[in-house]
Amino acid sequence: MDLISGLLGGFHGVFQSANFFYCFVGVFIGTLVGVLPGIGPIGAMSILLPSTFGLPPASSVIMLAGIYYGAMYGGSTTSILVNIPGEAASVITCLDGYQMARKGRAGPALGISAFGSFIGGTFSIIALMFLVFPLAETALKFGPPELFAIICLSMTVLTYLASRSVLKAMLMVVAGLLLGTVGLDPVSGSPRFAFGSASLLDGIGLVPVAMGLFGVSEVLLNIEQPQERDIFKTKIKDLFPSLQDWRRCLGPIGRGSLIGFLIGILPGGGAVMSTFLSYTTEKRLSRHPEEFGKGAIEGVAGPETANNAAAGGCFVPLLALGIPPNPVMGLLLGALIIHGITPGPLLLTQHPEIFWGVIASMYVGNVMLLLLNLPLIGIWVKVLKVPYRMLMPLILLCCLIGAYATSNNAVDVVIMIIFGIAGYVLRKLQYELAPLILAMILGPLAETNFRASLILSDGSLLIFLQKPISAVILCISALLLLSTGLSAYRKTKTRMIEEAGADD
């Protein structure tokens, strides 16, 4: 009964004019961000985060969440029509979506993408409702040692699953942890790494750092390498898939929903990993694997369902444990903390309007996205023709205004520019920025729980091994690090043997 009454209360809050409006604004901007290649949900949320500070907490989170799962919807349009992923999770959709468009089946590809996204998103919301309660009840039994261990596991998995160099990912984690120590010591209150600057006593702000790393650096990269978007000219018709298409896609949609949700829950997981796993699964299960890459509709339905299911799954650890599994959820965590709300087990009792408001808004937002993506597909095609030389200066202007508006402090603008240049250089050197921003958010939480654990144990580190949950989690983290080190060693050894053989 609590679940039903809570959900009804959430719908009552969402259908208030202000929240309904911000839900629409979030999913609309998210779709726009997904359609336009190069920006991505992290960049858009970083840019728009300052605009939510004057809103009520529920409206703020509803809007930011809408941007995230809205971008998952919109990314397929660009992949199918332009063969350029609107955001990272739509990379795999290019393989079969664009080939379907070239065969005159752009309509069914876009249609099954929208319907699959709707089904996957709805499944993840229902699963989120039923899973978050027992997880939150379990988390109430967690103390500082267990929370510290979970945060360590989150950062370890993030480096373990890095798409590029694991060493570079670990360096980014260390850099993020160092940035999180700037400001006043949380226990003694003494300044750390402030270098005599009063502006740094409160620490380096999340907003200017995120806007610089993901917003400004994106502008610099696109100015350097402007993308020519050649939209495949075809009549978009038959947006509603045929019965034969549905028969082929019901299995991939069902499996994609489950795969996406489970991957979304994992630390370091998310939409990108879920789409690749879904695509691989469907190719292996298919009776005609040779069709994949040549326009198989299953290759569109499965991954597009999985990325939206993963978007919902990511909310489970954030809302139940207060630990973000990826950088997007990290930004949402930052937004909640700025509003004076700490996600976690007590969120359901202390701020039920936030929790149920977000859940209900995701139901409403999924319906909005279905209506936005199918009837308005012609408008999104026209949006694709907007030249970058007009778009990028506008993004840069929004970044500058947003960084200053955060605290009306010009130092934040300087910080944003510095991290924008740093982000540009790091991306050119093939460093991943996601571990840095996530470690910067989780670092203070890890430090607080680590020091609280030592206070409880009178300074003994054995407390982390005496607690069964923290001991198991830390052992898993150590095994992942060991596995990563061994893998890197083997690759280095193999490369040295190959080079020695080439010299001979």
Tokens of 389: 């030389």
pLDDT digits over 398-452, tens only? 777 767 766 677 888 888 889 889 988 988 888 878 778 778 877 888 888 888 8
Region of poorest pLDDT, from 71-80, 122-131, 232-241, 264-273? 232-241
HSE-CB of 384 using CA atoms within 13 angstroms: 27
- Label residue 1 by pLDDT band (50, 70, 90): very low
Rg (C-alpha) for the chain, rounded Å, is 23
- Label residue 366 by pLDDT band (50, 70, 90): confident
CA distance 486 to 492: 10
Instruction: Check if the beta carbon of residue 151 is closer than 8 Å to that of residue 470.
Output: no
For residues 163 and 416, the model is more confident at 416
Q: Find which of 6-10, 417-421, 494-498 is predicted with most confidence, using mean pLDDT.
A: 417-421
CA distance 64 to 85: 21
- Label residue 225 by pLDDT band (50, 70, 90): low
Residue 267: closest CA among 156, 138, 131: 156
Region of poorest pLDDT, from 96-105, 311-320, 380-389, 429-438? 380-389
pLDDT digits over 247-260, tens only? 888 888 999 899 88
Residue 435: closest CA among 56, 154, 223: 154
CA distance 120 to 128: 12
CA distance 117 to 115: 5
Note the helical H segments in 36-143.
40-48, 57-82, 93-102, 106-139
Per-residue burial over 198-233, b = 16 or more CB atoms within 10 Å of its CB, e = otherwise: eebeebbbbbbbbbbbbbbbbbbbbeeeeeebeeee
Instruction: Check if the beta carbon of residue 260 is closer than 8 Å to that of residue 278.
Output: yes
Average pLDDT over residues 158-184: 78
CA distance 434 to 94: 23
Q: What is the mean pLDDT of the chain?
A: 79
Tokens 């009964």 identify what position?
A: 1
Tokens 């500082």 identify what position?
A: 144
pLDDT digits over 34-48, tens only? 777 666 677 777 777
- β-partners of residue 183 are 192
Tokens of 51: 């605009």
Residue 353: closest CA among 18, 62, 49, 48: 62
For residues 450 and 319, the model is more confident at 450
- Label residue 385 by pLDDT band (50, 70, 90): low
316, burial (CB in 10 Å: exposed 0-12, middle 13-18, buried 19+): buried
> Which residue type, as a one-letter code, is found at position 59?
S
Question: What sign for the dihedral angle of Cα 422, 427, 429, 430?
Answer: positive
At 142, give phi and psi (nearest 5°): -80, 140
Contacts with 353 (C-beta within 8 Å, 6 or more apart), sequence order: 9, 10, 13, 58
Region of poorest pLDDT, from 7-11, 248-252, 493-497? 493-497
Region of poorest pLDDT, from 229-243, 298-312, 320-334? 229-243
Contacts with 437 (C-beta within 8 Å, 6 or more apart), sequence order: 176, 206, 209, 210, 213, 214, 327, 330, 331
pLDDT in the model for residue 237: 64
pLDDT in the model for residue 102: 80
Give me the residue spans of the domains in the chain: 2-224+246-503
Tokens of 421: 């240049």
pLDDT in the model for residue 228: 55
* High-pLDDT (> 70) share of the chain, %: 87
CA distance 54 to 280: 44
CA distance 398 to 396: 5
Average pLDDT over residues 473-497: 78
If residue 334 lies in a helix (H) or strand (E), which one and from where to where? helix 327-338
pLDDT digits over 172-222, tens only? 888 888 888 888 887 777 888 877 777 777 778 777 887 788 778 877 877
Instruction: Check if the beta carbon of residue 252 is closer than 8 Å to that of residue 302.
Output: yes
Question: What sign for the dihedral angle of Cα 360, 24, 112, 270?
Answer: negative
Tell me the CA end-to-end span of the chain in Å, nearest whole number: 75
